[in-house]
Each structure stands twice: as structure tokens, then as C-alpha cells.
Structure 1
């Protein structure tokens, strides 16, 4: 089963279609609750990210690898808000593997509302060794199960984004790190980075009128007490091809998450 799609890669990559029906696609449902939505009742990006994390844990448990492969970190998450899912709907979530290597994999999640709405995502997950805190080999039997939904078995890490500088930024502002942002790994949880996205989108309601793709790549963790700043750059349509030729015809916003001179993460936002 191929992940190639129409061949687009990088930020403009084509996400693998859901292989449905397929016995190795994990399929579950739960309600969309009040903490998941914004003032207009739309499923938020940070809430969608929590759902993506939660279904990953549920699938790991269902497959029987929760004890042997308990620690994973996400290096990149790409989310397409294709059509809003609204409050009080029932979410159907499907998760499957779209690419593997010995120590990491890409996992697709599709979130659909029973009454309409669609969110697509793909995340690059790295298996972590508990003792060394470095990448660890995924067991052969686990890999075999993951590969049942993809023929991409030589997955490599290639960054799509590079942090922006303060010198030519459209804005720079502080983003306080709260105790409630810190997770079991003693780092700022992945979903909090997506809260920054929601803050930005609140200033750009025009972006929410069309399908939207947001990608975040993580370089280094953010810890409690860090003086986190968000550096914003705006690239109007036709002003650059630095994100690939496919995106030269649309505006792209980048948000660089920095602590001092260290880039912690970079996000890119653009209409599909």
C-alpha cells in the first residue's frame, strides 16, 4: 500500500488516504467536549492534538505494546483543518501507520464528526529508550504490524522548516510557560505549542474561512521556567519560494518558538 499520493513532499506533501476498510486501522469514537472547542464551538488545534496523542496511547495499548514501547516523542505534526467539527458532535478517529524505519514511524490520524467536519493529520514519532533517553529500535513484531498499512519502510527524518530571526520579524512576544503546561516528561506538552497557533489564528479570522494546514517541528524541549518567545514572520503570496514551489502562490506565516538564542520549535501556517 503506497503513501506516494501525487508525489508532493515537504510542507505541501499529500497525506496518505485512509486505507478503509482495513483490519489494521485503529478505529474509535468519543464525544467532542466543551474544553475542546473555541467560542464558536469549533474543535481547536490544541484539542485536536490532545486527541491525536490520546488515540496513539489507546492504539499502543490495543496492540499490546504499551509496556515494551512506553515512551515516544513527536518530532513533527502536520494538521489539516479541512472542515470544522463543532460542539456536541461525536468524533470518529482512525489511526494507522504511513511510514516506518527501525526507530521511528509516521502515523496518520483522521478525525471526523458524525454531523460533518474533517481534520487530517500526520505525525513523526520517535521511539525512546527509557534509560538513555535516545531513539530506540522498535521490536520486529511491532514493526511488522505497523507495515501492514504502508510500503514506506525506509522513512528518514528531513526537516521542512528553519527558525526565523528577530531582526526581520513581524513581531516578537513572550509566551509564559505555566505549571499546567508541563507533562510527565517534565517538558511543555506538545498540545501547548498548538495553543500558540490558536492565539495567532484569533488575530487572523480570514484564515479560518478556508481549509488550513499547520505544521509544527520540534527541535528542543521547553521546560518550566524557560523565557519562551514567539517570533512571527509573514511571507505574502508570491514573495518567496523558500517553502517549495507548490506554496509560492499563497501566503505563509511562520512562528519560531525560542528561549534565548535556542530555537525550540518552528510552525508554518497556510491555506490549503
Structure 2
């Protein structure tokens, strides 16, 4: 794993699962054919859908689906440690690793019975239905979240900055389809990860495990937007700006833009 226990930013070490613990949500379901690529590997976009789905299930299990129904993700970090492969059974464990009054960080660990492993952490913001802005999490909900963490002053700090069009190694258009749009009338979070899969398909040399991918969202992509992906490959020796722990490895960034507006930024590197 990159960094050490004190690392922050892109090289942070994710909180280990507090297992056994009564407040870790623990479920199993099978890996389906739509979840895997041509080689049978669980895809990043499919893993993201599982992360969203287990979050909805835990929210319902905790009894807060009616009072806290709307959340948006600001950042997701996924470590594909060992590939999970077709026809495996997934064990998903979800717990809180940090809280504030209006947002929280939630960890999801996905284990395959055959030894595959995916770790993730996402920064979720509670949204007010009327104002569409951040909303306070109720005290009883926070009480439950805090049972698995002592971080109660979580703050947002971006890990990534957008790459420019002028010095991009590659510029590609990524068509937005009507099936990519969700209930918020925006491109669903998992589709941003389909962009990562598209990049890895065209650059198979970077599909080495363990692999960490992080996506930060700045603004929503809507149907009809001309979405372009700007690729920047930062070789070893030029990557200390991502953190001193990453100075010895290649870091690739994908900047999602519509015109001159940055919608999201992704970073990929080997752990």
C-alpha cells in the first residue's frame, strides 16, 4: 500500500475493517455477467454500482431511507487489490470512517470467495430535497455512523487538480447516452468509472494490480453535453505534486470537461 498510516491525499491508507463489529453492514450477493469485462474481471464501473447499492441497502437497514434519501458522492477511491472474477460470490462490508454534520466518508470492502479483493472509500454529502444543497445529518443517524470511527470533524479537501487541454497527451470524446442519466437528471457516478475502463482497455499496460483509482466530482454532466476526456501521463520523478509517496511512480490523470468547464478528475497509479 502506498504511504503509511499518517498519509493523506492520494496516498492515504484506508481504515481497516473493524471486524467483528455490530455496526459494520455485512451482505453477500453473486457477481453477475454484466459486472465483468471480456476476461471475466469485475469492472470498476460495476464495482461502483455495488458500492452505491450496498449504501442504499444499509441506509434502509438503519431506518433512514425516508429521512435521508438523497446523497451525492464527491470523491470515490477504489483499490483493486486482486481481481474478482466471474461467477464468484461477493461479500460486501460497509461502515463509516469519518463524519461531519453534513457529510461522511464510507468504506466498502468487497471480498470474493476465491481471494479477490476491492477496497473503497467514498465522500458522501447529504442533500436537502428542496434546496438541493448540503443538509445536516440528524443526530440519531450520526450517532450510528460514529460507532465505527472517532473522526467527527471530517473536512473536504480536494486531492486532484484539472489537467489542461493544451498539454494533454490525448483528447477523446465520450458520448453521453440517455441510459447514463439517473434520477438527479445527471450522468450517474458509475458512468465516470466506465471512462476509466475505456482508458484501461486502450492502455492495457496500466492494468496492473494492485491499482488505485480516485475520482473527484466538481460539477454534473447532463444529457446533451459534449463530454471530453483529457489524458495526462506524469512519469516517475514528476509526480511528487501528488504527494511525496508517489514520486517514484507513474500517475495518469483523466480530466472530464464540457467545453472549458471541468466536471471531474480521475487519477490512476499502481500501489
Tell me which residue corresponds to 1:215.
214
The SS at the match of 1:145 is helix
The runs of 5 or more residues in structure 1 that have no matched partner are none
| Separation in structure 2 between the aligned mates of residue 127 and residue 79 of structure 1, nearest angstrom | 21
Where do residues 63-74 of structure 1 align in structure 2 (5 Å cutoff)? 63-74=62-73
SS state of the match for residue 240, structure 2? coil
SS of the aligned residue for 2:202 comes to coil
Residue 248 of structure 1: how far off its partner (Å): 0.6
CA contact under 8 A between 2:239 and 2:251: conserved in structure 1? no
State the match for 2:88 in structure 1. Answer: 89
Correspondence 1:38 to 2:37 = yes
* 1:225 Cα deviation after fit: 0.2
Could you give the per-residue CA deviations for residues 163-212 of structure 1, whole angstroms, max 9, x where no partner exists? 01011100111110000000011000000000000001112222223200
Residue deviations 1:71-119 (CA, integer Å, cap 9, x gap) = 0000000000000000000000000000000000000000010111000
Question: Which residue matches 2:269?
Answer: 270
Q: Secondary structure at the match of 1:209?
A: coil
Counterpart in 1 of 2:58? 59
Partner SS state of residue 233, structure 1: strand
Output the CA distance in 1 between the equivalents of 2:55 and 2:217. Answer: 18
Post-superposition offset of 1:240: 3.1
> In the TM superposition, what is the alpha-carbon distance from 1:245 to its structure 2 partner?
0.4
- 1:242, distance to aligned residue in structure 2 (A): 1.1
> Aligned pair 1:80/2:79, yes or no?
yes
Q: How does 1:196-207 map to 2 (within 5 A)?
A: 196-207=195-206
Alignment map for 1:156-175 (pairs within 5 Å)? 156-175=155-174
Q: CA RMSD in A?
A: 0.7
1:1-272 map, 5 Å: 6-272=5-271
Q: What is the rounded CA distance, in whole Å, between the counterparts of 2:17 and 2:206 in structure 1?
A: 26
Separation of aligned partners in 2, 1:40 and 1:25: 32
Tell me the distance in 1 between the aligned counterparts of 2:236 and 2:202.
Answer: 19
